[in-house]
Structure 1
Amino acid sequence: MAAQVACNHMSAMLATRTLIRRSVPSSAARWASTAASRDKFKVLVIGAGSGGLSVANQIYYRFEAAGKPLNEGDIGILDAAEYHYYQPGWTLVGAGLKQKTDTRRPLASLIPSHLAHIPENVKSFSPTSSSVTTTSGRTIAYESLVVATGLQTNWSAIPGLQKALADPSSGVSSIYSYDTCDKVWHDIDALRSGKAIFTQPAGVLKCAGAPQKIMWMAWDQFRKTGRGDTISVDFYTGMPSMFSVKKYSDALNQLRIERGVSAEFQHNLVSVDSANAKATFKKADSTTVDVDYTLLHVSPPMGPLEAMKGAPIADAAGWIPVDKYTLRHTNPEFGNVWALGDCSNLPTSKTAAAVTAQAPVLTENLFSVVDTGKISEAKYDGYTSCPLLTGYGQLMLAEFKYDGVPKETFSRFFGDQTTPRLAFYHLKKDFFPWIYWQSMVKGTWFGASGPIRPKFH
């Protein structure tokens, strides 16, 4: 009921917006091809994921709102992907709540006519000449560059993992890819007894709460179907605690204790032996331990894209260094370079919710620099959110900003957000996927501000 009311309310608000949303008509194919073949763009966006699509549209609309509209095709978006994925939905697939086909759409169908789509990937950057080279060897120049390439999942970093994932009877799965997220539900549904292990790596991870979201859903499914006494659930994490923010970590640890879920902290998965159903973990003292499993859910290590490693706009690790408040490149010589989302070095969790807060700030600052030569008053405070599923019909909504300081949207209505609630569950299950496809990728969703572009002065 809460989700339906929210959806109806937001639908009405979105319908009243005067913002013109353009889709690509078939008659525009020739024009789109011509625009994409340009060798220079006023704004070039690298990556058509959550961050890239959102910010590319917002930039176009921001210039339009200021009475200084860009021409159609002045903004180019570079990405060779065939599909765009709603990755937060893969947890729902793994929990048996969605079909994985609901989580993807053809990328071309999401790029409106005012954006020029270049279906290639970036190979190298030349920030001193304000240009990039694509994988085909084409050089594309820009006046402003926005990097939103995301990160990569390093499946091969764990020996034996890829083989185990490819084996339908291995009991090994992961919600971190379109190809494997439905195997998670198959394994959870099929397990009748034994040891179910859920892992989380040390270091960078998209949506760091996801490894235990699927664990809690599995625990609840086992309990609801009478298998709770025959299946043990264990959490092996490379991190020192349940969550990076103490308030939520404490609540999750208490939940773990109450539910009888064991945990091994600073245990990082380093190999999988699916033939013998053994997982090897490396401990903080560098020793290893072999653990038997019946079901193994793996959250693999992640890192920057190969194209970013050694790039002149990247730091030594391969992340794009930006001012954590303005999202502008920290090198003054690259003042026309910006970044957001997973590819950046922003000291906050890498989530779609973070992008909703970052995109309008980046947009405002880029517009201001182009328009006046100066940065605006728009500042990103590090806001991100992690909707922590704790079971069917319940969710703990973690929201926080820089330094792990809680920044809760609904606490004045519902109280402390560490209490799992049905209303929060429907936000994750129903409202967020709907608003993602209907608004966020179109550049008309601004996080806590909803469909209203925030004002920064």
Structure 2
Amino acid sequence: MFPIRQVGRIARQSLSSPARFASSAGAASSADKYKILVVGGGSGGLSVANQIYDRFKAAGKPLNAGDVAIIDPSEVHHYQPGWTLAGAGLRRKSEFVRPLPSLVPKHITLISDRVTEFSPASSSLTTTSGRSISYDSLVVAAGIKINWDGIRGLPQALMSSTSGVSSIYSYETCDKVWSDIDALRSGNAIFTQPAGVIKCAGAPQKIMWMAWDRYRRTNRGSNIKVDFYTGMPTMFSVKKYSDALEELRVSRGVGGFFGHNLTSIDAGNHKATFKQGDATVSIDYTVLHVTPPMGPPDFIKNSPIADAAGWVSVDPATLRHTNPEFSNIWSLGDCSSLPTSKTATAVIAQAPVLSENLFSVVDSGKLPAVYDGYTSCPLLTGYGELMMAEFRYGLEPKETFAPRIDQSKSNRFFYHLKKDFFPWVYFNYMVQGRWYGPKGIWRPTYDA
């Protein structure tokens, strides 16, 4: 059994022991101020902390060991895109977890504590332990909050072995997804997606397509009805890929119910209730995969650095805070206000922009780098096939392999990138700050 109220923050769980402050080498640190302080040890925090340090070094202006710090209460770090692979029975979830200290180099300090309050006017923040830590520059990369309690009955259903309810959005439950999917012999398999912002907006249907293909390959397809209930108006936000996915949905006989938001689950009677406009719709399910609603972390939402929606308010091109009085604050990834999809590939494109601009502001006061909103969603559509959606601001495709490959069509090459190559790159290059997405190991260059 797991603390379901905290599952959405699995990569940032507080330590059971009293908060400690230590470098990755385990040495105690009494520093109260850092030149660069990064909030969050997820994909964004690790990538950008390393890239900032490396950028100063490359310019011949190296920072001292301990000048850069990451603050995060987690003991472990998760490659979260791997949870879909575990949910589809392709990989073991244990392959995608590492001790967080093992990913932090010795020259970067790891502070094991949780931020409770930002004080941008004094360039400082407060932690759970009551410590006040100040900074010259602050980078906020604290991820997104999963609101498991936003659907009545969901926490209890996830903890039940007989509910048929699962979710790929936590380490604890992603293997239950595969168990439930593979055990089904007949009935209704329902997959949900809420309206609004979620991380990896394609993931809810990735697992649906994998389940559909599993049933087809094991001759169960005629006995199982697969339906997609989504709060969104279409299959995907980018028209090119949405049209292709809608064609796929129709050809495969998958039901599409748009504008439907899951509000409650009656696990005992296997009923799911949806809100559609002003109407309420109750559906019988046998297996139910749930994507819970999400939003900004509370400690950011209730802080002076947040915008009206609760995200860290940053310029969409420079990733610098929009308030001139907070010009030493930066943000990237899921917790930021950047109007693009919240994915690891977005972080890969954002990190070099942020690190270049932060360095240049400190060095010369300039902002040479511009983020165009690039993100990617590797959409699994079955075993051995994947559609590689890549796009930028304005929901315009920005494709790496076009025109040689039509990226609205699924193929095996993209499938192996997702299943095998991306996880390897993540732990060996990305979290070390040495991977730049479509540019690979070559850091982008910017005009001064």
* CA displacement, residues 395-422 of structure 1 (integer Å, 9 cap, x when unaligned): 00000000100000012332x1001000
- Answer yes or no: is 1:132 the counterpart of 2:125: yes
- Do the aligned residues in 2 keep the contact of 1:195 with 1:295 (CA within 8 Å)? yes
Q: Distance in 2 between matches of 1:120 and 1:447?
A: 30
Q: Of 101, 106, 112, which residue of structure 2 is paired with 1:108?
A: 101
Does the alignment pair 1:144 with 2:137? yes
CA distance in structure 1 between the partners assigned to 2:389 and 2:320 by the alignment: 27
- Choose which of 293, 304, 309 in structure 1 pairs with 2:285: 293
Q: Does residue 46 of structure 1 match 2:39?
A: yes
Distance in structure 2 (CA, Å) of the matches to 1:30 and 1:295: 43
> Once the two structures are aligned, what percentage of the paired residues are identical?
67
Q: Describe the SS at the equivalent of 1:413.
A: coil
User: Which amino acid in 2 is paired with 1:444?
Assistant: R
- 2:234 pairs with one of 233, 241, 256: 241
Letter in 2 for 1:220: D
Q: Which residue of 2 aligns with 1:33?
A: 27
Residue 37 of structure 1, CA deviation: 2.7
SS in 2 for 1:435: helix
CA distance, structure 2, for counterparts of residue 401 and residue 267 of structure 1:
27
Counterpart of 2:394?
A: 403
CA shift for structure 1 position 31: 6.9
Structure 2 contact 23–108 (Cα < 8 Å) conserved: no
Supply the distance in 2 between the matched residues of 1:455 and 1:263 (Cα, whole angstroms).
44
State the partner residue of 1:14. Answer: none
Q: Does 1:428 align with 2:418?
A: yes
Q: Secondary structure at the match of 1:236?
A: strand
Q: How far, CA to CA, are the matches of 2:88 and 2:30 in structure 1?
A: 43
SS at match of 2:268: coil
Aligned-partner Cα distance in 2 for 1:52–1:37: 22
1:191 corresponds to 2:184: yes
Deviation at 1:306, TM superposition (A): 1.1
Aligned counterpart in structure 2 of residue 373 of structure 1, from 341, 365, 368 = 365
8 Å contact 2:24–2:104 — kept in the other structure? no
Query: What is the alpha-carbon distance in structure 1 between the residues aligned to residue 439 and residue 95 of structure 2?
Result: 26
* Contact kept? 2:24, 2:109, Cα under 8 Å: no
Which residue of structure 1 lines up, in the alignment, with residue 430 of structure 2? 440
Kindly indicate whether the alpha-carbon contact (under 8 Å) linking 2:369 and 2:446 is maintained by their aligned counterparts in 1: yes
Judge conservation of contact 1:32–1:116 (CA < 8 Å) in 2. no
Q: Which residue of 1 aligns with 2:4?
A: none
Aligned equivalents of 1:374 and 1:51: distance in 2? 23
- Would you say 1:68 and 2:56 are equivalent positions? no
Distance 1:446 1:332 in 2: 29
Are the aligned partners of 1:325 and 1:381 in contact in 2 as well (CA < 8 Å)?
yes
Q: CA deviation at 1:58?
A: 0.2
The aligned runs of 1:342-421 (5 Å cut-off) are: 342-375=334-367, 377-414=368-405, 416-421=406-411
Give the Cα–Cα distance (whole angstroms) in 2 for the partners of residues 338 and 30 of structure 1.
24
Taking the TM superposition and a 5 Å limit, the aligned residue runs for 1:217-232 are 217-232=210-225
Q: Which amino acid aligns with 1:439?
A: Y
Matched position secondary structure for 1:217: helix
Give how far 1:32 is off: 4.9
Q: Which amino acid aligns with 1:379?
A: V
Shift of 1:33: 2.8
Equivalent position amino acid for 1:387 in 2: P
Partner of 1:21: none
Deviation at 1:317, TM superposition (A): 2.2
TM-score, L = length of structure 1: 0.92
Task: Indicate how the Cα distance of structure 1 residues 138 and 227 shifts in structure 2: closer, same or farther if over 3 A, else same.
Answer: same
Residue ranges of structure 1 left out of the alignment (5+ in a row): 1-27
Q: Which residue number in structure 1 is paired with residue 79 of structure 2?
A: 86
Q: Distance in 2 between matches of 1:128 and 1:96?
A: 49
1:175 aligned to 168, 191, 195, which one? Answer: 168
Within a 5 Å distance, the mapping from 1:257-336 to structure 2 comes to 257-284=250-277, 286-336=278-328
Q: Cα distance, 1:30 vs. partner?
A: 9.7
**SS of residue matched to 2:420:** helix
Tell whether the 8 Å contact from 1:37 to 1:118 is kept in structure 2 after alignment. no
Cα distance change of structure 1 residues 175 and 275 upon mapping to structure 2, 3 Å threshold: same
Equivalent residue pairs, number:
426
Do the aligned partners of 1:310 and 1:316 also contact (CA within 8 Å) in 2? no
TM-score, with length taken from structure 2: 0.94
1:168, 1:352 → 2: CA distance? 31
User: Could you tell me how far 1:310 is from its partner in structure 2?
Assistant: 1.8
Which amino acid in 1 is paired with 2:191? Answer: F
Q: Any idea what the Cα deviations from partners look like across 1:290-329, whole Å, max 9, x if unmatched?
A: 0000000000000011111220111122100100000000
Task: Output one character per residue of 1:65-95: Cα deviation in whole Å (capped at 9) or x when no partner.
Answer: 0000000110010001111000000000000
Q: Give me the whole-angstrom Cα distance separating, in 2, the residues matched to 1:31 and 1:49.
A: 19
The whole-number CA distance in structure 1 between the counterparts of 2:188 and 2:68 is: 52
